[in-house]
């Protein structure tokens, strides 16, 4: 199917044509606006507006790749919401992964509203907020299948199978159509959650019609279905019993189910379990508090407990599956933990997928472990990881269970969204009943229609050391230029009355592969030429001299260094 038949996209509407200051919500339709996640795997955020209410669903981050210097995380650009003063009635959060809650501390301060989430998700949000010093938040706990009445909306949360505890989907009953939003999900037929996504969807929806399904497209190219989380235990037992030394498993700290799998395998192979890494320990305590883990007493060691003398009696579960710098795995790889020195005979298992952008740092970590003599297993080699996202068969099962009238794919790059639309049609959704919306596209739903309306401003903002920066702003432009070819700082001291140089110009180069001296030669001539040029134009003022010098000095240094250097010129006058 080509794009024009799935969406009737018009050119982007100019800023002044937008609904400046108008209420975003309208009577008679649900307006849906994705600001993240429709064009990338990450940064999920979708706005739902109808009658007098606006609901913000999720606020996630995306990790930058190595091409973006000095950026910690990427968050959705919410300029459109700010300019149009679109405020949420409530925040509805599906689950606690960073690509769903990572941006919340940044955005909540601009858009405060009650937050609704499951117990584990809420605890993760509370921890983030306390790090940011955000107080006085109206937190609301959701329980599965307990329908809540919100302004203009009835919402039934239901559990889904996913690689984090307490992940929820929503069945949203609006006056203009019922929307099924399962969040991130897969179907696990022997799940740690004790129930399967499609059964829970059937229970939450009941006999009611599903007008619109919006679903996770991450694995829309993966054929079939992935193995069950519980099936990993056998593979882990095999690896744990073969390993002569310590077994280290690195995974996401929020993947409580994987921690449980490690505990099950460790128990069966006579190993104790030690959690390593700040967030791993924190989430373990949280999971124990919420009774999400089922482990025999004494199996899990605390950091103060002595570790078993026999290395074959220890399993370490740690953070660092993405190669993070200060993670448990990174500390082990650098030999930084006195009582846990790894070497020949020890095994390290990377039990997580590599998030795009992290491959290089993961590679560095793997090389370090191999150098130490460890045996390394990754998800690519053996059965040490299953995906938390639905494969094609799972997606089709959801279409068959929900039988939606309309469909909109979420959570994917363009190709994943497009593929998901193909699967929708194969599963019985009619041609013309799907819209491939990208970030910034407003679509509208009524009981009898689902269509593209218009495009508004969207994009990505960069967070660098807690400060939000625009990708095309001066700071990022300068950082990119500096990282590429360095900087030259040039100072001219001249006599105020005669415009003559008082001393020879000085040059300080940073990150330019040329000597200061070679750039310095000829700068006095550049000054003189600039002065003569301005004299001819009868325009000798400090400002014009500075402007003209900037260009000429840059040309001079670029020529000598052979690169495009960022040049800063200082003009100092003396009597
Ligand atoms: Zn997720
Ligand atoms: Zn996600």
pLDDT tens for the chain, 575 residues: list them: 333 333 333 333 333 333 344 568 889 999 999 999 999 999 999 999 999 999 999 999 998 877 787 888 999 999 999 999 999 999 999 999 999 999 999 999 999 999 999 999 999 999 999 999 999 999 999 999 999 999 999 999 999 999 999 999 999 999 999 999 999 999 999 999 999 999 999 999 999 999 999 999 999 999 999 999 999 999 999 999 999 999 999 999 999 999 999 999 999 999 999 999 999 999 999 999 999 999 999 999 987 889 999 999 999 999 999 999 889 999 999 999 999 999 999 999 999 988 877 888 999 999 999 999 999 998 665 688 999 999 999 999 999 999 999 999 999 999 999 999 999 999 999 999 999 999 999 999 999 999 999 999 999 999 998 899 999 999 988 888 888 889 999 999 999 889 899 999 999 999 988 888 888 888 999 999 999 999 898 888 888 899 999 999 999 999 998 888 999 999 999 99
Residue 309 CA to residue 303 CA, distance in Å, equals 15
C-alpha 58 to ligand 2 mean position (Å): 10
Please name which ligand lies nearest the alpha carbon of 162: 1
C-alpha 355 to ligand 2 mean position (Å): 11
Please name which ligand lies nearest the alpha carbon of 60: 2
Entry field: residues in the chain: 575
Residue 200 CA to residue 343 CA, distance in Å, equals 46
C-alpha 256 to ligand 1 mean position (Å): 13
Q: Which of 293, 227, 296, 301 is nearest to 258 (CA)?
A: 293
> Within 10 A of 202 (CB to CB), how many other CB atoms are there?
13
Q: What is the DSSP letter of 434?
A: B
For residue 106, CA distances in Å to 43, 82, 89, 473 come to 13, 13, 18, 19
**If DSSP codes are grouped into helix, strand and coil, which group holds residue 271?**
coil
For residue 177, CA distances in Å to 51, 81, 149, 506 come to 13, 24, 16, 70
Q: Where are the alpha helices (DSSP H) in 217-358?
A: 232-242, 256-268, 278-289, 328-333
Please name which ligand lies nearest the alpha carbon of 61: 2
C-alpha 41 to ligand 1 mean position (Å): 10
Q: Give the per-residue pLDDT at 36.
A: 98
Please name which ligand lies nearest the alpha carbon of 166: 1
C-alpha 163 to ligand 1 mean position (Å): 7
Three-state SS for 38-106 is: ECECCCCEEEEEECCEEEEECCCCECCCCCCCCCCEEEECCHHHHHCCCCCCEEECCCCCHHHHCCHHH
Q: Give the per-residue pLDDT at 485.
A: 87
pTM score of the predicted model: 0.88
Q: Where are the alpha helices (DSSP H) in 372-510?
A: 392-402, 414-426, 474-485
C-alpha 44 to ligand 2 mean position (Å): 7
Please name which ligand lies nearest the alpha carbon of 388: 1
C-alpha 76 to ligand 2 mean position (Å): 14
Q: Give the per-residue pLDDT at 380.
A: 63
Please name which ligand lies nearest the alpha carbon of 387: 1
Find all residues with CB under 8 Å of 177, minimum gap 6, and list them.
30, 211, 212, 445, 446, 447
Please name which ligand lies nearest the alpha carbon of 167: 1
Q: Which of 211, 216, 215, 218 is nearest to 444 (CA)?
A: 211
Q: Give the per-residue pLDDT at 381.
A: 58
């Amino acid at each position: 199917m080509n794009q024009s038949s799935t969406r009737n996209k018009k050119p982007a509407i100019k800023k002044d044509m937008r609904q400046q200051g108008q209420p975003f919500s309208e009577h008679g339709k649900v307006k849906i606006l994705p600001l993240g996640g429709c064009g990338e795997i990450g940064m999920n955020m979708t706005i739902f507006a109808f009658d007098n209410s606006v609901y913000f669903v999720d606020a996630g981050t995306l990790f930058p790749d190595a091409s973006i210097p000095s950026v910690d995380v990427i968050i959705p650009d919410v300029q459109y919401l700010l300019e149009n003063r679109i405020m949420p009635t409530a925040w509805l959060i599906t689950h606690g992964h960073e690509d769903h809650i990572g941006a919340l501390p940044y955005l909540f301060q601009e858009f405060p509203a009650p937050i609704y989430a499951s117990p584990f998700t809420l605890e993760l949000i509370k921890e983030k907020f306390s790090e940011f010093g955000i107080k006085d938040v109206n937190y609301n706990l959701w329980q599965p299948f307990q329908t809540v009445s919100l302004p203009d909306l009835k919402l039934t949360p239901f559990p889904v199978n996913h690689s984090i505890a307490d992940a929820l989907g929503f069945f949203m009953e609006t006056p203009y159509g019922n929307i099924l939003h399962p969040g991130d999900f897969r179907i696990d037929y022997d799940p740690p959650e004790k129930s399967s996504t499609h059964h829970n969807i059937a229970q939450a929806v009941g006999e009611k019609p599903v007008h619109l399904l919006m679903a996770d497209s991450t694995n829309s190219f993966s054929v079939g279905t992935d193995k069950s989380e519980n099936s990993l235990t056998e593979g882990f037992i095999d690896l744990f019993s073969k390993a002569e030394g310590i077994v280290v498993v690195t995974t996401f700290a929020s993947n409580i189910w994987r921690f449980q799998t490690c505990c099950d395998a460790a128990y069966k192979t006579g190993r104790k379990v030690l959690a390593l890494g700040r967030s791993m320990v924190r989430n373990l305590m949280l999971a124990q508090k919420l009774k999400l883990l089922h482990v025999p007493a004494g199996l899990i060691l605390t950091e103060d407990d002595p570790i078993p003398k026999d290395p074959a009696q220890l399993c370490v579960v740690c953070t660092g599956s993405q190669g993070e710098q200060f993670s448990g795995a990174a500390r082990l790889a650098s030999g930084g933990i006195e009582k846990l020195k790894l070497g020949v005979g020890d095994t390290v298992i990377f039990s997580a997928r590599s998030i795009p952008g992290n491959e290089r740092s993961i590679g560095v970590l793997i090389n370090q472990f191999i150098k130490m003599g460890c045996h390394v297993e990754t998800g690519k080699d053996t059965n040490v990881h299953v995906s938390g996202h639905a494969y094609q068969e799972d997606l089709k099962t959801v279409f068959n269970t929900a039988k939606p009238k309309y469909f909109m794919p979420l959570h994917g790059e363009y190709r994943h969204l497009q593929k998901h639309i193909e699967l929708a049609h194969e599963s019985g959704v009619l041609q013309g009943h799907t819209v491939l919306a990208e970030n910034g596209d407003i679509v509208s739903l009524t009981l009898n229609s689902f269509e593209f309306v218009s495009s508004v401003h969207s994009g990505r903002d960069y967070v660098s050391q807690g400060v939000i920066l625009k990708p095309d702003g001066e700071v990022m432009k300068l950082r990119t230029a500096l990282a590429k070819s360095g900087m030259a700082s040039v100072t001219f001291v001249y006599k105020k009355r005669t415009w003559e140089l008082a001393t020879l110009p000085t040059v300080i180069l940073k990150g330019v592969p040329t000597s200061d001296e070679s750039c310095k030669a000829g700068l006095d001539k550049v000054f003189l030429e600039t002065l003569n040029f301005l004299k001819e134009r009868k325009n000798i003022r400090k400002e014009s001299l500075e402007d003209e010098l900037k260009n000429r000095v840059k040309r001079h240094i670029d020529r000598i260094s052979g690169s495009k250097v960022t040049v800063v010129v200082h003009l100092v006058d003396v009597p």
